[in-house]
Amino acid sequence: IRQDVLADAIPAAGPRAGWGAYVPGVVMALVVAAISYSQTGSYPQVRAWQQATAQTPGLLARALDPQAQPLNEEEMARLALGLRTRLQNDAGNVEGWLMLGRTGMVLGNAGTATGAYANAYRLDPKNRDAALGYAEALTRSSDPEDNRRGGELLRQLVSRDHTDIRVLSLYAFSA
């Protein structure tokens, strides 16, 4: 009797389901994953970042061309994003840091401006634009320590050349 019970418990070998039975489940899982990613993932931000990176050369050319139409605030923000991306791969580009600093100042983004000018100044302390931009960003900061450092930098710039109108006007503004 025992052998009969055990024999009944073992299923008989029959035809197995082919791969076709699994295809709908796999397709459904992929569709659910794609919809979930598009709804909760960062795809729109990644796409905007890629577009900003691709548009950077054109936006930069427009920003530097006095005859071209000025950039609006959205284009300036895309230019800043593209410049930051470029500078990740070319961190020694003083002109890139200066342009990012100027863009940060125009956008009213003190953190971006100060950081960019600090990098430019660190890379080339003798660069007058880097020193002046960094001093301006520091003197416009709400932090008293930044104001003090900006004032020191301005005093150094004035002592080197007391005829530079930009330096003198910023020095007067910060006093």
pLDDT at 82: 96
Residue 142 domain-assigned?
Answer: yes
- Kindly tell me if the per-residue pLDDT of 80 is higher than 80: yes
Tell me which DSSP letter residue 51 carries: H
Instruction: Check the CA dihedral 65-136-95-128 and report its sign.
Output: positive
Structure tokens at 49: 């970042």
23-37 pLDDT tens trace: 888 899 999 988 887
Residue 101 domain-assigned?
Answer: yes
- For the chain, the average pLDDT equals 88
Q: Which helix (H) or strand (E) holds 68?
A: none
What's the average model confidence in pLDDT over 77-96?
Answer: 96
Residue 111 sits in a domain whose CATH number is 1.25.40.10
Residue 59 domain-assigned?
Answer: no
Identify the domain containing residue 110 by its residue range: 76-175
What's the average model confidence in pLDDT over 137-142?
Answer: 92
Residue 107 domain-assigned?
Answer: yes
Residue 46 domain-assigned?
Answer: no
pLDDT at 88: 95
* Overall number of domains in the chain: 1
Residue 65 domain-assigned?
Answer: no
What's the average model confidence in pLDDT over 78-88?
Answer: 96
Residue 10 domain-assigned?
Answer: no
Assess contact for 98 and 110: CB atoms under 8 A: no
Residue 22 domain-assigned?
Answer: no
105-112's contacts with Cβ under 8 Å and 24+ in sequence apart are 105/133, 105/136, 105/137, 106/76, 107/73, 107/76, 107/77, 107/80, 109/80, 110/137, 110/140, 110/141, 112/80, 112/84
